[in-house]
Homo-oligomer: A and B are copies of this chain.
């Protein structure tokens, strides 16, 4: 079996999770190629070398441009901060590489659309890392909606509550800088919006509010000495009303300011015939109620989303054993490379840009205090 050579740009937690995905994918799915991480880049040579060693990546470079140009790299996997995604994607597309880009695709719709045009023009496979789609329970939710288990969708709601930004002593870094990290809307919200578009369809209009509760954070020089305060240019928390093209309505809320909530995202989709609810804190479960069920058994069923008939489940463990976060990355790799090189990748940069358009519409709405049509963003 042929190795397909992957170069990963970035070596932080995301790069690590992607490495895990490449390592595990061949165990859970029969693939026509073996995607293998051969090189990893990072500006700090010592740090990237240490990371690569622990992830089992044989080679490192300190300039991502070098990684992108290498002839022994078939796939460029972008795991850097969002503000750098578009530029790297452009270069990778220009070099004729397949491109996988971690979400969000960019920090603005303009960047995202530009990246989308670049990969499209280059004709290279392209994908965005909306990994939560690849959880069994989430994929089952999507499949059940598609199969009509809840009838026509009326309401969608999602929340992502985290405590990442609760401590005022957390030093300023790129996550607090809109140009590099993107907003909380883009960082957390992009996952939720991706799920909304995937499960319910086009979002036409949004109305949002954003708030930054801690407006300045200590800036450290070299990570040691505080050198004043830096302005936080991203939102701690945002929420929005949503209108779908189908007539369904929704709400979404993202917050990195909620104490003792580590990464609690929930999604509910309510249809004319049923209700589906997912809580990432219990990621192997999906809650379901059907209007057609026996009223004497009124309630929601805690579906153990690990039955062999469920998406991804047969690739993993017997029912009841449970998978974790990592499984979403292994499933992502398996999904992308299962049909290599012919099957189109999904979600691709077009989807990434569509998500970005909604995020930017939310951002504009929060700034302007009015409903904003997604089309306003995409037609700019």
Contacts and interface: CB of A to CB of B under 8 A. Distances in A.
A213 interface: yes
Interface string A274-314: 11000011111100111101011111111110110110000
Interface stretch (A74-82, A190-198, A322-330, A344-352): A322-330
Contacts of A307: 295-296, 298
A258 B155 contact: yes
A264 interface: yes
A82 to B, nearest CB: 17
B325 A322 contact: yes
A320 interface: yes
A279 to B, nearest CB: 10
Chain A contact residues (Cβ within 8 angstroms of B): what range?
Answer: 35 or more
A43 interface: no
Nearest to A257: B154
A290 B259 contact: yes
Contacts of A295: 307, 309
A162 interface: yes
A23 B320 CA distance: 23
A54 B26 CA distance: 7
Interface of A: 13, 16-17, 19-20, 23-24, 26-27, 30, 54-56, 150, 154-155, 157, 159, 161-162, 166-167, 207-209, 211, 213, 236-237, 239-241, 243, 247, 249-251, 253, 255, 257-264, 270-275, 280-285, 288-291, 293, 295-304, 306-307, 309-310, 316-327, 369-371
